[in-house]
Structure 1
């Protein structure tokens, strides 16, 4: 080949190569319009690529004459693939990367939510806190009464939330509703939850604006999640001043079994410590429970839980204006059983499911002097829920529920009985839409039908949350909530319809560097509340013309960082509640809804003494009541409630803990209201008796021992 021919060929090849070379340049932005440095930009299937500069610009030279796919990839953003056709020398390609939804950094809806968990970030308490709050005395509800939005009603013991009655709070275990979650007690004698707090790994407590998944509750939902799989086999012995118990846990490769029993008797304790009440027979109870878990493959977990218990007491209740020396003798014999089966499954293609069935039966045998009363309440709940993550931005949860409520009350000696049965069906669906890591919308709809009331209802609910750059977030929630009247009223008039409430909530939440700040304002309306004349077993003129509202705000601050080995939180709630209900002829401030509530909890661990010291102080501005000696309703108020409680937990050995706690250590005479005589005395005045605590103080001493083969089990987690 001649030289000029070779030169011509080389020039031709060079010109073809130049024509097949392409330069792609541009700038990469985020959704806020800011440039992104360090974005990986490369041709799919090759190692050819580059990275964006500090100002977000890039330039990439591509050889060849075929089309290609350009990939943009950066941490925290969704990867984008852009097809590019060859045929030009220079191409301008600027793109916007969308945020990737990261479960650990994404915004979460916190309006109304108070979570106790070791897994999620938007939490207020840990499961450990439920059993270590000094004033709680190991009761789940006692711990939650130190949280915002709740009120301490010392002569009741149940959960009162934002101006709502205790019956307006529903309790769930693994998503299934629990019937009669509190033990039966005598009038003005506080009760406790029936369930052992150590069974649960976490809880979700909502003071309003909660998910469409939860129904049959006007004011609040408390969802408890049981432990999935224990760490080891072990035995736990409890020796207390009021009783004893034993729990045994056996753990296999894919299954576990926990069984336990307890016996409590306050008789010996009450003989040593002065009581405000006149006991004929001190409260005594026994219980037994079993919880089994079985893994099926790697994606399915089954749980079965059963509990049975019996409790008795007899108490003389003095009556104002009645000449009997000791008053009326009231006896309580309560028998309760609860069982449930639940399952959760993680499927393919981003499907997950959970659900199950629960059944509870509660029988009360009551004696009031010569009158015998028998009440029976049964609740059955079946539920199935499916969740589909269609993308990292959109998730849909839908479920179907069936309820059966059976209630009866009888006077056996008189041969009188009344009862009702109601079947209810509920459907719900809820969608989460993540627009970015900073913005989420949730919209839900719940619909239900009651066969007994012949009523269908629809409850829409919506929530929104936005996360700021400093990691604090703002949430807004609104929704409608429905609940049938309480059983003892409904049995008198079975065609009663739902009572209704509407919630409106604005919330700010920040959890960072061991500190948590939560501020929330709320407004709640009531409609269709029950009003009547008379009293129990004598309800007359039952109507649903009551209404009301509750408004206010909550503040919560927790700090685990500032002081070494010290954890403390402060809660303040303001609740302005007015409602016409029960026998009231006008809207009044309920006796269970103090306006101002403050709680402080401090826990400090001393390593050298192997001890944790705890204190909790709570107060409110008093409880309203009606004094018939003056005109009007709810025309008086007690002096403010105060309680200072202390606790000391000592760990002399890893498997042994000694716990001592005392409530109301200052012995303050807290009064929750007054009972008045039905008729005036000779001076024209209505006699009264104060409603007090069962005792000036309650002292608890417990010794807890853990037994295990490998000696690795210990009581440290209970401190």
Structure 2
């Protein structure tokens, strides 16, 4: 009897349990309504759940009752919760759409007009190490970027020329702060260099147009240099070079670091050994001292301070076309730059930045008996706040103010002219990810100038779409303003902004070891400055010029096909015409060759601890006006520019680097234009002098020794 009762009770309980089981079923989809197989569906606080099938459906049973929470999880998507009531035997859930989680690693990035050189970006084009190991660059940042698409090599200048624009159309920034007079002052046909050592920077953002609303006062390009955060170790770096030497010392710990350096160069001994095409009375020479410090502030803050001072000069005999006479040109330059910036992350996903910078440039130029002094200063105050409202929406807000005094003085005559401009800007930029494959960016930049008494507003827009795992398409458009260069503004303070409108379409394919980039663009120019007379004595300056630039760029980099070999190939076609300066008609500028080709190859010889490199640059020549032909402007063109450079880097010890490089190995006689006599000679011909290279070749030898506790660090640790 007891056994029968026990069996009855057990059977009853089993039946009750069976009837208490509730079946839950439904479907998991993505944002586009497509099935999401493999999603985890589970009741919160229990082990009851299931995994979605290939068609996104799921079903499972549970003995739980009452109000419960159903959790939906899938890697790469946001977790979603749904409150349900288990008061029935079967419950059919409406299809759940999971929202994809967007991160820096899986989201599309806007690449139209944008090229990054860093170790962090997934769309990186060059790394910092590439800058110093490009043979033709000779360690100059601009020399390395001249191998990238959209740029033109102007060998007797050395600055960066981008897509039909002159060098003044490129804005240069360090940690977001504008740098005044970023290039060393030069004269004649002696090319200049950037003043700053590439070892300072952890990465570079180079834009060929359509750039962020954060940057302004540049018609063609923004080049943003980002300094290192905390240095990784304490070390000393000694350099002995064929043109001079220097020493840098770094002290570092987990919370702060400081680097101080001093350098001296003098091309006199070098030029005494190798004949120069230019008759130097005093070879280019100079010294510099630099300080860079970083300190962690609070839990998330970082303070950076940087200061640089330098002095240099040169003098040379400049020939006059059509005569045997020469004029002595003597240049002395003093330069100072300092900045401090602070960045921190606050609560609620706010990131704030505050910075201040100051640059001062002083030139003393003697041209025969004429002595000119030029002083330019630029103070920059800036603050930004960035907010991630979600993983799909972020915004940046910013304000900045510039104080820009400039003065010119004829010393003997006692004549002086100057201006003191105050410029104020407000800007904002918003990024919205519709999904990980599609992002929109919109920005506005407003500005005012006290000297020109002008106000302006620049709208900018970009969009990028991921075509596949490796390929994406980007488009950018925007309006850009730039006040005229200082030597024009000081003559006519009523000059207003020049304007350019950009349209850029870009395709980028990137996978491990390979990068391919194609970009087509169109730029319009309005309100360009024109004048009567010659550039060194302009009259009647006004905003009366216009023009355009259009073309296409290609870039291919391969680090996989050939063992221990890295190479990239760049081709740019630029069709540019503009009426500007002294030109009455729209002409092809001398600084904008139509066809530009660059090839860089680096091969690592592991057994010899060596890297050999080669770079080749080509363009189809520079336009110029030959008065002996006809009255047409820009009626002639030089022969093509060609430059083959080679380099060899050798590490005999872990802390010792020997670097040897030679530009224009084949000794090609590159000509960049001609200077003509203002009058004809007895034969009715305008005599001319070619504007050529300083020397057929330039040879550089550098020995870099690093001193550290473990004796394994070298100068490459700074990159």
TM-score w.r.t. structure 1 length? 0.97
Name the residue aligned to 2:126.
125
2:569 is equivalent to residue 574 of structure 1: no
Q: In the aligned structure 1, how far is the partner of 2:193 from the partner of 2:331?
A: 15
Q: In the aligned structure 2, how far is the partner of 1:171 from the partner of 1:681?
A: 45
For the structure 1 residues 177 and 218, does the alpha-carbon distance in structure 2 shift closer, same or farther, using more than 3 Å as the test? Answer: same
Question: Any conservation in 2 of the 1:654–1:715 contact (CA below 8 Å)?
Answer: no
Shift of 1:12: 9.3
Structure 2 counterparts to residues 197-596 of structure 1, below 5 A: 197-324=198-325, 327-536=326-535, 538-596=537-595
Shift of 1:340: 0.2
Q: In the aligned structure 2, how far is the partner of 1:32 from the partner of 1:132?
A: 47
Q: In the aligned structure 1, how far is the partner of 2:89 from the partner of 2:343?
A: 57
SS in 1 for 2:41: strand
SS in 2 for 1:130: helix
Question: Any conservation in 2 of the 1:132–1:718 contact (CA below 8 Å)?
Answer: no
Shift of 1:281: 0.6
Q: Which runs of 5+ in 1 are unaligned?
A: none
Q: In the aligned structure 2, how far is the partner of 1:237 from the partner of 1:575?
A: 43
Name the residue aligned to 2:66.
66
Shift of 1:470: 3.5
Deviations 1:65-117 (A, max 9, x none): 31212111011111111221334432332222221102112100000111101
Deviations 1:612-671 (A, max 9, x none): 000000100000001112220001000100000000011100000111000000000000
SS in 2 for 1:507: strand
Q: In the aligned structure 2, how far is the partner of 1:226 from the partner of 1:459?
A: 28
Shift of 1:510: 1.4
Shift of 1:530: 0.3
Q: In the aligned structure 2, how far is the partner of 1:134 from the partner of 1:450?
A: 42
Q: In the aligned structure 2, how far is the partner of 1:6 from the partner of 1:271?
A: 114
Higher alpha-carbon deviation: 309-318 or 530-539: 530-539
Shift of 1:2: 13
Higher alpha-carbon deviation: 53-62 or 638-647: 53-62
SS in 2 for 1:85: strand
Name the residue aligned to 1:692.
692
For the structure 1 residues 402 and 16, does the alpha-carbon distance in structure 2 shift closer, same or farther, using more than 3 Å as the test? Answer: farther
Name the residue aligned to 2:175.
174
Structure 2 counterparts to residues 112-191 of structure 1, below 5 A: 112-191=113-192
Name the residue aligned to 2:712.
712
TM-score w.r.t. structure 2 length? 0.97
Question: Any conservation in 2 of the 1:128–1:717 contact (CA below 8 Å)?
Answer: no
Deviations 1:580-630 (A, max 9, x none): 100000111000000000000000010111110000001000000011122
SS in 1 for 2:126: coil
Question: Any conservation in 2 of the 1:706–1:715 contact (CA below 8 Å)?
Answer: yes
Shift of 1:264: 0.3
Question: Any conservation in 1 of the 2:535–2:582 contact (CA below 8 Å)?
Answer: no
Q: In the aligned structure 1, how far is the partner of 2:397 from the partner of 2:199?
A: 30
Q: In the aligned structure 1, how far is the partner of 2:488 from the partner of 2:410?
A: 16
Shift of 1:188: 1.9
Question: Any conservation in 1 of the 2:535–2:581 contact (CA below 8 Å)?
Answer: no
Higher alpha-carbon deviation: 101-110 or 612-621: 101-110
Q: In the aligned structure 2, how far is the partner of 1:130 from the partner of 1:717?
A: 14
SS in 1 for 2:82: strand
Shift of 1:34: 2.9
Shift of 1:550: 0.4
Deviations 1:36-80 (A, max 9, x none): 221111112333221112332210223333121211101111111
Higher alpha-carbon deviation: 62-71 or 348-357: 62-71
